[in-house]
Amino acid sequence: MCGIVGYVGNKNAQNFLVSGLKRLEYRGYDSAGVVTLDQEGNATLIRAKGKIANLESCMAKKKRDDVIGIGHTRWATHGEPSEANAHPHKAGSIYLVHNGIIENYKELKSQLKNHDFKSDTDTEVLAALIESFYQDGKHPLVNAVVQALKLVKGTYGIAVVSEKNPEEIVVARSGSPLVVGIGKDETLIASDASALIGHTKRAIYLKDGEVAKVSKDSIEVKTLNAEPVSAKVEEIETNLAAIQKGGYDHFLLKEIMEQPESLAETLRGRVDTKNNLVHLGGPGLSEAELRKIKHLIVVGCGTAHYAGTLASYYIEQFTPEITIETVVASEYRYRQAYIPKDSVALIVSQSGETADTLACLREIKKQGAKTIGIVNAIGSTIAREVDGGTYVHVGPEIAVASTKAFTSQVIAMVMFGITIAQAKGVKNTILRSYIEEIAKLPDEISKLLNSDIPNAVKTMTQKYAKYEHGIYLGRDVAYPTAMEGALKMKEISYLDANAYAFGELKHGPLALVDDRFFEVVLLPKGALYEKAISNVQEVLARGGHVIVITNEEHFDLPVDDIVKITTDLEIFAPIIMNVISQLFAYNMAVAKGNNVDQPRNLAKSVTVE
């Protein structure tokens, strides 16, 4: 949520800033800005409402060859998206870009009588506060930043420059990521390493409570208490191809199509089909610790929550002595929930930076339960703070709507469940079918993506684009899959789509069925198939417009559309069905002319509450 970039070196700063912001645009895109300084400290501030393309048009009229600057792409929290509220914010000689929220900004603002506030943002208050300690510029900027940050309550990742010292940038973090890239005679700043790819492979990931003073050839990291930190230099693993569209019209379609490979990465080295075993090194729990687990808490937001819910339906099928609770992080963090002894929490997050999920992780750790991350972004805050974890390794997910991460999160969690079951002595004959199907899943997804079905879904979508509402329905494992399908649809097509457990339909939602609605029914073969068929008939009897996605070849009810999947899978057929839901939502968003990768009002990584 929001993106920060910074540059100090010998090259054109504007060029790096704008290209970096484009890479971070998926994190927030309602306004953007950059400031650069020339050798005398004269600043060129350019800000624009809307996308980076608008900022670029403004920049075309103010081209500079300055070699230091900072930039920001915003997802509004305080104050509407506008040029005045866009970052960088100026106070005296300093300019500040900020991710996060300053919670006590009102109180601080009331004390800053000498600053004429021009925006509605909490960030301008922090800029003014830093300026109040800096003023004459006789003391180092870093000291003023530290003094100000000591008064701040909230979260921040910041970058600051001053007209009085056009050779250095000060950065700091608490709860919002910041990476310092080390180049040859240049130092690059970003809130997400993807902005640094192609410029350097070496980076320092600041930790909470750290502040750094950087110039083109030096980086000094300290704590807010002025203790020097010998920061670890790490390698950035992602490559350029992973953050490009690679010939697809949208990142979302690329990421849907990538699922066979991304899931294969999740499984690499972890599934042993010869011996029917799963090996996960990351969680770091001994056999004895795994055996002791009695309760699993699965924490996440949005798609990560649905992935957790679906995984828990699976895990409880083969780990009889465990209770599993899946919780929405934004709720759980404020509940007075009792965490039973011998609990382990799975902390699920693609970005590894989601504020609510992170807050739960910290709370759960305080209460003494072990935490295991199911994370994609390597080196992210959650990945660093959990006791152990399993990276899903799907590579960068750029589209705001999560697709490939969902598939891999579900399977990574099921594999963790199998690891527990193995330790608890659950019979290999019970686990074998799960392991065999997991191993086949990448090929089965590939089979689907290379069949006629994606085109058929595209054609079918044209018919449904005129509807105003969608209802997604499923039973058992198809129910969380339906929830994820509905989220995808509403998020990118802006269609009002909601999911219900099929059995709940006649307890209320059935009243909705009319010509404004279509109903997507996920109908896997299995124990509850016949019951779900009766539910479909109830909808049809009331004039519903039903689309059925099924792997049952004999399905023959007179529904509006049928998507029949041919797959060897039985247990994990819902994962394949979800790929169809992803394609349906994608085509719907395209048909409606929406911004598929950056849907309105949203941002990729939700680093504020």
Residues that bind ligand M6R (CB under 6 A): 301-304, 349-351, 354, 357, 400-402, 487, 491, 605-606
Query: Rounded to 5 degrees, what angle do the CA atoms 320, 322, 326 make?
Result: 120
DSSP secondary structure code for residue 157 in this structure: E
DSSP secondary structure code for residue 135 in this structure: T
Locate the DSSP E strands across 302-396: 323-328, 343-349, 370-375, 388-391
Q: Is 604 a catalytic residue?
A: yes
C-beta separation of 372 from 345 below 8 A: yes
SS3 for 562? strand
Closest residue to ligand M6R, Cβ-based?
A: 302
Identity of the residue, 461 or 605, whose beta carbon is nearer to ligand M6R in the bound complex: 605
b/e code 188-202 from CB counts within 10 Å (16+ = b): bbbbbbbbbbebbbe
Instruction: Give me the catalytic one of 2, 301, 370, 490.
Output: 2
Locate the DSSP E strands across 52-107: 68-74, 89-91, 94-99
Going by C-beta distance under 8 Å and a sequence separation of 6 or more, which residues neighbour residue 452? none
Cβ at position 496, least distance to ligand M6R in Å: 16
Q: Is 153 a catalytic residue?
A: no
Cβ at position 181, least distance to ligand M6R in Å: 22
Identity of the residue, 535 or 598, whose beta carbon is nearer to ligand M6R in the bound complex: 598
Q: Which residue has the tokens 């089909």?
A: 273
Cβ at position 73, least distance to ligand M6R in Å: 17
Three-state SS string over 298-324 comes to EEECHHHHHHHHHHHHHHHHHCCCCEE
Cβ at position 293, least distance to ligand M6R in Å: 23
Identity of the residue, 194 or 402, whose beta carbon is nearer to ligand M6R in the bound complex: 402
Give the distance, in angstroms, between the CA of residue 353 and the centroid of all CA atoms in the same chain.
7
Name residue 165's beta-bridge partners.
162
Cβ at position 491, least distance to ligand M6R in Å: 5
HSE-up of residue 180 (Cα within 13 Å, Cβ side)? 30
Cβ at position 350, least distance to ligand M6R in Å: 3
Distance in angstroms (rounded) separating the CA atoms of residues 211 and 213: 7
Instruction: Give me the catalytic one of 207, 222, 490, 604.
Output: 604
Identity of the residue, 166 or 574, whose beta carbon is nearer to ligand M6R in the bound complex: 574
Identity of the residue, 149 or 495, whose beta carbon is nearer to ligand M6R in the bound complex: 495
The residues assigned a catalytic role are 2, 604
